[in-house]
Every structure is written in C-alpha cells, then in structure tokens.
Chain A
Amino acid sequence: MSANVVEIQGLDRRFGKRTALEGIDLAVHKGVVLGLVGANGAGKTTLIKHILGLLKAQTGTVRVFGLDPVRHPAEVLGRIGYLSENRELPEWMRVGELLRYTQAFYPAWDTHYAQDLLTLFELNRGQKIKTLSRGQRAQTALLIALAYRPDLLLLDEPSSGLDPVVRRDILSAIIRTVADEGRTVVFSSHLLDEVERVADVVVMIHEGRTVLKDSLDAIKATHIRLTVRFPQPLTSPPSLPGVLSCTGGPQEWTYVCHNGLKDLQQEVDAVHGLVVDSAVPTLDEIFVSRAKGHTSPEGSLCDR
C-alpha cells in the first residue's frame, strides 16, 4: 500500500481548445504539507478538483488514498476536508445548523474539537451564514473541514481576502492540524510568505505545467539572487547560467538564477562583472522571476 496520499500521473485536462493542465505528475506523501503556487488561471483549482473527483482525468491517472476519486467518491471524500475558494456554504442556515448538518455525514466528527474551533474563531452558533463577514465565512468553512479530522486537508486559497488577524487564526488552526499525527495538507496560496513558513514541498504551476516541484529546502538551496556590477553601463546585460530574470541597470544588474550555482562566479568573472551582493531569494522573488523573466537564449538580452 503506497504511503502516497495523492498520486497523479500524466494528467492532462483541456476545456474545449484551452489546455488547463498538461503532463502533471504529483505524489503527495502522507504527513507532508504541500504548497501549490501559481498565477490566477494557472491550473491550481483545476488540479484540486481532480483530487476531489469533481473532474475526471482526460489523460493519465489520479489516485487518492489509492482509489480513483471519481469511481469511489464516498470513500475518498469522507476522508478529505475541503475548503473551496468561494467558501460555498448554505446561506439559509445558521452556523449551528450547518455544524449539525455536516456532522450527520461524517462519523469521525469530533464535537469537542468543533466546539474548541468555534470558541477559537469566536463564532456564534445562532448566527445566519448569510450575515457572516468574509473572515467568519472562511473560519466557518475551515471549521467544518477540520472537525471530522480528515486524513487529507485540501485548501484552496485559505487566506485569500482576509485581514491579518483572521489570517493568523486560520493559519494557526491549520498548523495545529499539521502537528496532529499523519495529517496531510495541500494548500494553494498567493501569499508566498505563508507558503514559505508552512510548506514542506512546493509545486509551482505555470500555464498548466509544473515548472518547479521540490522540497522548500532544495528550492532555497538551488536558487540565488546575484547583483553584479559591470565596468560600464549596459543596455544588454550578459546572460548567466540558469538565469530566470534580470532587472536593474544600467551598471548594476540583479539576476535570479536556478541551478548552475557552482559555475556562476567563473561566468561573472568571464564577463568582467563584480558580485556586489549575493543572497538566497525569497519564494516570492523566485515566483516573480519565473513568471515575468524569460530564460535567455545564449548571449541575448535579459528581460527588464
């Protein structure tokens, strides 16, 4: 029995002529926190919907807990706690009613834990869901996803549109479940600072394809931000190995590079540059570099 909670191989997905996902391979090991990052429309939600069995794989396979979520929806969904991007909740219910309603579907529902979360989030059982603030909606949606202690927590932009206080509460609640044994978390987020703090593994999706998939440690170890000073102003700075982006100028240019770190000093020397600053880039910088910068063909202009 695989220790992979989610196993995706060769997944393709097209909507009419538009390719939403292409060649996605992903294995999520039990107990791992996986951060899914990418621009809006890159394919994160589409990927999550395949894990939930809401979309059927057109090419390739999707297995969750070793099962096809489309063919075994009850077994799979019963062990997943899902927070949708829209926080879909039944507007006509009150918070307390929603809790009782959800509890009926999940035998593993923990009433004490649900109450703890209710208190932590300062939610009122009697309150109508349609009157909840944005933050309260997110908290309520998270509460019902957590309360039956699912084996897999699937969160689509859990912090999106929330003020710092609520974000903190939500992140804290998620971290608490990670500390519980065996819980696996997959979350998509634009807040790369949070991803950097909480994720074990990061997958970056760009236009439906995986452009980066590695442990956070490895990502940080294989990227570098280098500021190079050249003897004269340049409109066309030289390319460096593994360059993802190049900004600045005219005399000092900042490169973000991936791999080839060993040869970098030699290359900088070869183009008569002087390294004036060198640092590990943040996940945010890496993401922006990949999204905006172009990998230059040999010797051509780095994009500004």
Chain B
Amino acid sequence: MQIHISTKDGVPIYLQIVNQVKYMVASGRLRSGEQLPPVRRLAEDLLINPNTVARAYRELEAAKVLSTRQGAGVYVADTASPLARREQTRILKDRIDLLLAEARHMDVSVEDLIDLLRQRGELIK
C-alpha cells in the first residue's frame, strides 16, 4: 500500500493516512475486502509512531471505510462503494476550490476557467 507521509504538509500525519486511504478506496486502488497492513507494520514502513497509525485506522473504521475482523486484521469494508462516490465528489470539490482560488488571484473569470476546462478536456480525449 503506497502511502506517502510528509511532515511539511501542515496536515497531521494521521489525517494524511486517512485521506490517502479514502482516496485509494474511492479510486479503486484498494478493493472491497482487501487487507491492510497491521498497525505495527505500517508504522515501521512509514517510520511513524504506531499510535498515529492506530488513530488513522480507528477513524477510518468509524467512517466505515475499514472494518476490523477479530484478531484477523484490518480490511477495506464491503460497504465502501457508496462511500467511494461521495469521497470522489469531495476530492474533486477540493481540487476545484483550489483552482478557483488561483484563478481569482490571477483575475481570471469563472467563465474563462470553464472554457479552459473544455479545451483541455477536448485535448485529453
């Protein structure tokens, strides 16, 4: 599981993990029922405090993204799919907000921004 932690982020480490796991589930990189590394393993791989990993896993479990099987580990929850759609929308909204802020800074109108989006969309097709 490819998680990248940065202390320069400003975002607390546990939240970085939460966000990245949610993203991977939403984008299909983590499938329903797939097992995640145990707390200790992930802590050693990322070189962070195990409590931080435990906290992230707890939050993901509360958000029903992960589920713990008694003594058998941590897995992506089966009910992850409806969450995926919501999570995807949230991620895109965040990206859009950033884009809008930048455009505003540069005095670019929303209409011009939409034109630009369409142009790029055509190119990528």
Query: Is there contact, CB below 8 Å, between B47 and A172?
Result: yes
Known A175-B44, A178-B50, A197-B13; 11 more pairs at CB < 8 Å: A171-B47, A175-B50, A176-B44, A178-B43, A179-B40, A196-B7, A197-B47, A200-B49, A280-B10, A280-B11, A282-B8
Considering the complex, which residues of chain B in the window 82-118 have a beta carbon less than 8 Å from any beta carbon of chain A? none
If A197-B7, A282-B7 touch, whether A178 touches B49 (CB-CB below 8 Å) is yes
Residues in B with CB closer than 8 Å to A280 are 10-11
Q: Is the CB of B48 within 8 A of A197?
A: yes
CB distance from A256 to the nearest CB of B (A): 13
Give the residue name and chain of the A residue nearest to B7 (CB). Answer: A196
Query: With A193-B7, A282-B8, A283-B7 given, is the CB distance from A176 to B51 under 8 Å?
Result: no
Do B48 and A175 have beta carbons less than 8 Å apart?
A: yes
A33 proximity list for chain B (CB < 8 A):
49
* Cβ–Cβ contact A217 & B7, under 8 A: no
What is the distance, in angstroms, from A190's C-beta to the closest C-beta of chain B? Answer: 15
B1-43 toward A: CB 8 Å interface, digit per residue (1/0)?
Answer: 0000101101111000000000000000000000000011001
What's the minimum C-beta distance from A201 to chain B, rounded to whole angstroms?
11
A217 touches B50 (CB 8 A): no
For A283, the chain B residues whose CB sits under 8 A away are 7
Query: How far apart sit A217 and B55, CA to CA, in the bound complex (Å)?
Result: 13
Q: Number of B interface residues, CB 8 Å?
A: 17
Contact of A104 with B by CB under 8 A: no
* B residues in contact with A200, CB < 8 Å: 49, 51
Cβ–Cβ contact A176 & B48, under 8 A: no
CA distance A176 to B44 in the complex (A): 7
The reply on A291 being an interface residue by CB < 8 A is no
Bitwise interface map of A from 267 to 304 toward B, beta carbon under 8 Å scored 1, else 0: 00000000000011011000000000000000000000
A198 within 8 A of B: yes
A179 and B7 contact, CB distance less than 8 A: no
A15 to B67: give the CA distance in the assembly, Å. Answer: 57
- A179 B39 Cβ-Cβ under 8 A: yes
Tell whether A168 is near chain B: CB-to-CB under 8 Å.
yes
Taken residue by residue from 165 to 200, chain A's Cβ proximity to chain B (1 for < 8 Å, 0 otherwise) reads as: 000100110011011000000000000011011111
A9 and B101 CA atoms in complex are apart in Å by 51
Q: Is B47 a contact of A198 with CB atoms below 8 Å?
A: yes
**Which listed residue, B5, B40, B47, touches A168 by the CB 8 Å rule?**
B47
Q: Per-residue 0/1 for A42-60: is the Cβ within 8 Å of any B Cβ (1 yes, 0 no)?
A: 0000000000000000000
Contact status B10-A175, CB under 8 Å: no
Q: Which residues of chain A (135-188) have a CB below 8 Å from chain B?
A: 168, 171-172, 175-176, 178-179
Q: Does A209 contact B (CB under 8 A)?
A: no
- A87 at interface (Cβ–Cβ under 8 A)? no
Q: Smallest Cβ distance from A119 to chain B, in angstroms?
A: 15
Which chain B residues (63-88) contact chain A, with CB distance < 8 Å? none
With A and B bound together, what is the CA distance between A227 and B44 in angstroms? 36
0/1 interface trace, chain A 193-235, chain B, CB 8 Å (1 if under): 1101111100000000000000001001000000000000000
CA–CA, A196 to B8, complex, Å?
10
8 Å CB contact of A198 from B11, B40, B49: B49
Query: In the assembled complex, which residues on chain A have CB atoms less than 8 Å from the CB atom of B10?
Result: 279-280
- A178 to B10 Cα, complex, angstroms: 24
Assembled-state Cα–Cα distance A290/B13 (Å)? 23
Residue of B nearest to A280 (CB): B10
**Min CB gap A183→B, angstroms:** 10
Ordered nearest first, which 6 A-B pairs have the shortest CB separation?
A: A280-B10, A179-B40, A179-B50, A196-B7, A197-B48, A279-B10
Q: Give chain A residues whose Cβ lies under 8 Å from the Cβ of B13.
A: 197
Residues of A within 8 A of B43 (CB): 175, 178-179
A179 to chain B, nearest CB (A): 4
